[in-house]
Amino acid sequence: MKPHWWGTLLYVPVLYGLGWLASRPLLLLAPSWRTDQVDLAGLAVSLLLLLLTLPLRLRRVWQDPQPWQRLGLAVPLALALRSGVRGLLKALVLLLLVAAALVLAGQAQWLGELNSALLINGLLLLVGVGFAEELLFRGWLWGELELQVGARRALLLQAPIFALLHPWYRAPGLEAVGLLGGLILLGLVLALQRRADGGSLWGAVGLHGGLVGGWFLVQKGLLQISPAAPGWWVGPGGADINPIGGLIGWIGLAALLWARRHWWAQPLP
């Protein structure tokens, strides 16, 4: 059974809107909260609604009696651990390559300053961003697209949708194009990671979350990146650099795509 396009288009925006509305009373109940904190609370409500409604949608629209297995979360523990660790290790290798390139080029200095607050923030980013975005994009969206346009087209289509829904447009000029391209490459890498893991979503969660949380630690505590480093090389963002939009990140992601190239034709189990 194919989902209706209108259902696919409206499902997540409706959940986001409900989360946003549910968080608005906090502006009155907790006036000391900043607007971004209230918005974050709204995102948490939206994620909770996603977790509550996804099983219902998969059972009714996809006609799948095992929704969490179909999404790649309910897998054998050994597979979940193995794929998750492999994803984290790939993220670590990519981050090491970026950090080494910056240091060797004289565009960054080693600081090695980490504290408990930074580690907790990095862990929250790893779990929060990695889990939420992979459940949404490589879990639900990829499955919806596969039912509508087929496996190969769905793999290719989910990546630009993933990229376009990130704020790449905030970067100036060509840096925005570089960031958009890097996000597309990342979307493809994460999809092939799930295929290589036999349908388990945990490897993509580990890779995605490891990159986000790990880069936060690199930029905030481990390295001091020179403000003179060119954006086309290190990535756009100024004080908050996103390395997947620079040449270093593109090279690392392209290498992962090449290493996973034989998984293009393999369907999800």
Determine the pLDDT at residue 31: 83
CA–CA gap between residue 84 and residue 210 (Å, rounded): 10
CA–CA gap between residue 47 and residue 55 (Å, rounded): 13
* Choice between 263 and 215, residue whose per-residue pLDDT is larger: 215
Q: Which two tokens stand for residue 215?
A: 């880069």
253 Cβ contact partners less than 8 Å away, ≥ 6 residues apart:
94, 182, 185, 186, 189, 244
pLDDT confidence band for 263 (50 / 70 / 90): confident
Average pLDDT, the chain: 91
Would you say residue 118 has pLDDT above 80?
A: yes
For the chain, the domains span: 1-65, 76-263
260 Cβ contact partners less than 8 Å away, ≥ 6 residues apart:
189, 192, 193, 195, 196
Determine the pLDDT at residue 128: 92
Determine the pLDDT at residue 113: 86
Q: Are 214 and 157 in contact (CB under 8 A)?
A: no
Q: Are 225 and 107 in contact (CB under 8 A)?
A: yes
Would you say residue 235 has pLDDT above 90?
A: no
| Angle in degrees, 0-180, between the axes of helices 202-217 and 77-104, rounded to the nearest 10 | 30
pTM of the model: 0.93
